[in-house]
Structure 1
Amino acid sequence: MADKVALVTGAAAGIGKACSVRLAKEGVAVGVLDLKLADAEAVAAEIVAAGGKAIGLEADISKTAQVEAAVAKLREAFGPVTIVVNNAGISNFFPFEELTEKHWDDMYEINVKGTFIVTRAVVPDMKAAGWGRVVNISSSSVQSGSVDQIHYAASKGAVVAMTRSLAQALGPHGITVNNIPPGSVMGTIMSEANKHRFPIPFEQIAQMLPVRRLGIPEDIANACAWLCSEDTGYVTGQTIGVNGGRVMS
């Protein structure tokens, strides 16, 4: 994978950081993109210190001009971008009756429109190369539903539908498109869910899962690296659940 260049969004922490580090270990040059440039640059510095190739990038993924400028900077540093991991997103909790149109619009602006904008920015490079990998980070809330997150689950459901449709549109160009819906992964969203939905010790939540542990960002990164590899040219349009068995299909 030494000749590949990846863009990972929401990459300054958590799953995005783990995916960036994992891809770099495979030899991929990584654009670490986040709203917080200093944090993105810190992750890139970690990768470089470990012998990898990376650059920190800043953009609001819902803003086309910012995304295109970041992609141009990545392209200038390492070459055409043929891998994208759409991890950036937002999440919050509101009872359905308290949801406003602004809550709904903000969720779709980032989780759906942002994923579209980022993917559109890099697909020309993939088509030119005749090879590409798109990995969308969705959510297990799409599969199970999520109380007080109707707008979030709906937005991530749109990402799953986008994944399947893009897989059909881009497959003839050698581009695969898949999505990973994480479940019960330690991080900001899990901590917020613990406050709002299941205010019980994490250890007790872990005992409810078949694997008897909560996930870590590296669990998602491992699956992401596989989907971005040369080994998955016949895997597209798929939902690869990484959730410790919380949701089975």
Structure 2
Amino acid sequence: MDLGLAGRSVLITGGSGGLGGTMAQVFAAEGARVALTYHRNKDAASAVVETVEKGGGQALALPYDLGDEESIRSATDAVTSAWGGIDVLVVNASPARGPDEHRGPFETVPPEQWRAQLREEVEGAFHTVQAVLPGMKARGWGRIVLMSASIVNRGMRGEEAYVASKAALHGLNRTLATELVGHGILSNAVAPGPTVTANLLPKVPPEIRATLAGLSPAEIQSVLNERIPHLRFGLPEDVANVVAFLGSDANRHVTGSVVNVAGGH
């Protein structure tokens, strides 16, 4: 299927990680120009750019801070300056979460941690979408994909702030879809389940993690699916392929949806 992405300009926030980097490569393989942002890991973002360019594509890596409106505006302006606008926006960045972050009972969650998660996740999405909309409206075409998580559907102990902030994106998505459909702009959310990335592995029980050293992502997926059968683990490309379709011209009638890419979980 031709997704009609050749020559389109794509901005993927949080593009230096395993999932964001895979999205960048999938979009680039379809002929899109890809800008990806990073917060701290410039080297990882540069490695994704190098991979895209080796494949004959065009890519940019840009600094971006969810909690800084000026940083968001600088990143979106840089893409517009380089390529004339942003056709596809994938809001993938989430607040950084440290190993010492509190995950105890809900009544003991520090208010500042709660506020930081919701502020950066929700306001970061707000400012980023707001920055790209004038250009999309002027061109009469645009695709927005907000990255959520499947645990919004079931909740998770100790993750109340994270789940609440991702759930807020569902409401934003539905409202954007209603408001923008007359402008040729479609908005959707994607909710991945457990996916084999570097961020997942520290959460795997130590007795299982020890068996994963040196394995490929597909081999890790197979081991985890066997050892933790109540979950179904996906690969980054499982998610990235869905995002690319929703962000493409091939998608002409899906908007306001939350697409679960979670192996039925």
TM-score by length of 1: 0.90
**AA at the equivalent of 2:28:** A
The answer to whether structure 1 residue 113 and structure 2 residue 132 are counterparts is no
Aligned equivalents of 1:221, 1:174: Cα separation in 2: 23
- Higher radius of gyration, 1 or 2: 2
Distance 2:134 2:205 in 1: 42
Residue-by-residue CA offset, 1:119-156 (whole Å, 9 max, x unaligned):
11111111011000000110111101111101110000
CA distance in 2, matches of 1:133, 1:171: 10
Question: What is the distance in 2 between the residues matched to 1:206 and 1:195?
Answer: 10
Alignment of 1:144 with 2:149, yes or no, is: no
Instruction: Give the aligned partner of residue 239 of structure 1.
Output: 258
Query: Is 1:80 aligned to 2:82, yes or no?
Result: no
Q: Distance in 2 between matches of 1:93 and 1:189?
A: 17
Pick from 48, 51, 74 the counterpart of residue 46 of structure 1: 51
What SS does structure 1 have at the residue aligned with 2:250? helix
Tell me, yes or no, if the aligned pair for 1:62 and 1:117 is still in contact at 8 Å. no
Aligned-pair CA distance for 1:42: 2.1
1:46 Cα offset (Å): 1.2
After alignment, is 154-163 or 31-40 more displaced? 31-40
Q: How does 1:59-208 map to 2 (within 5 A)?
A: 59-90=64-95, 94-95=103-104, 96-195=106-205, 202-204=224-226, 206-208=228-230
Report how far residue 184 of structure 1 moved. 1.2
- Please state whether the residue corresponding to 1:232 is helix, strand or coil: coil
**Partner Cα distance (1:136, 1:175) in 2:** 14
Checking the alignment, whether the CA contact within 8 Å between 1:93 and 1:149 is kept in structure 2 is: no
**Partner residue of 2:242?**
223
For the residues of structure 1 that align with 2:228 and 2:236, how far apart are their CA atoms?
Answer: 15
Is the contact made by 1:22 and 1:221 (CA closer than 8 Å) also made in structure 2? yes
* TM superposition shift of 1:217: 1.0
- Shift of residue 199 of structure 1? 9.3
CA-to-aligned-CA distance 1:154-197 (integer Å, 9 cap, x gap): 0000011111011111111110000011101122443344359x
- What is the CA–CA distance in structure 1 between the aligned matches of 2:53 and 2:136, rounded to whole Å? 25
3-state SS of the aligned residue for 2:56? coil
User: Does the aligned pair in 2 maintain the 1:206–1:214 contact within 8 Å?
Assistant: no
C-alpha distance in 1 between matches for 2:52 and 2:137: 28
1:204-228: CA deviation from partner (whole Å, max 9, x where unpaired): 455224xxx5111111100001101
Change (3 A) 1:188 1:104: farther
SS in 2 for 1:178: strand
1:24-35 → structure 2 map (5 Å cutoff):
24-35=28-39
What amino acid does structure 1 have at the position aligned with 2:187? Answer: V
Q: Structure 1 residue 19 and structure 2 residue 41: aligned? A: no
CA contact (8 A) 2:19 2:236 kept: yes
Q: Distance in 2 between matches of 1:192 and 1:42?
A: 22
Structure 1 unmatched runs, 5+: none
State the aligned residue count: 242
Contact between 1:41 and 1:57, CA under 8 Å: does it hold in 2? Answer: no
Q: Which stretch shifts more, 82-91 or 235-244?
A: 82-91
Aligned partner of residue 11 in structure 1, secondary structure: coil
Return the offset for 1:60. Answer: 0.3
Q: Is the 8 A contact 2:201 2:209 kept in 1?
A: no
Gap regions ≥5 residues in structure 2: 211-222
What code does the residue aligned with 1:202 have? L
Q: Distance in 2 between matches of 1:199 and 1:22?
A: 28
Cα distance, 1:29 vs. partner? Answer: 0.4
How far apart, CA to CA, are the structure 1 residues paired with 2:133 and 2:244? 19
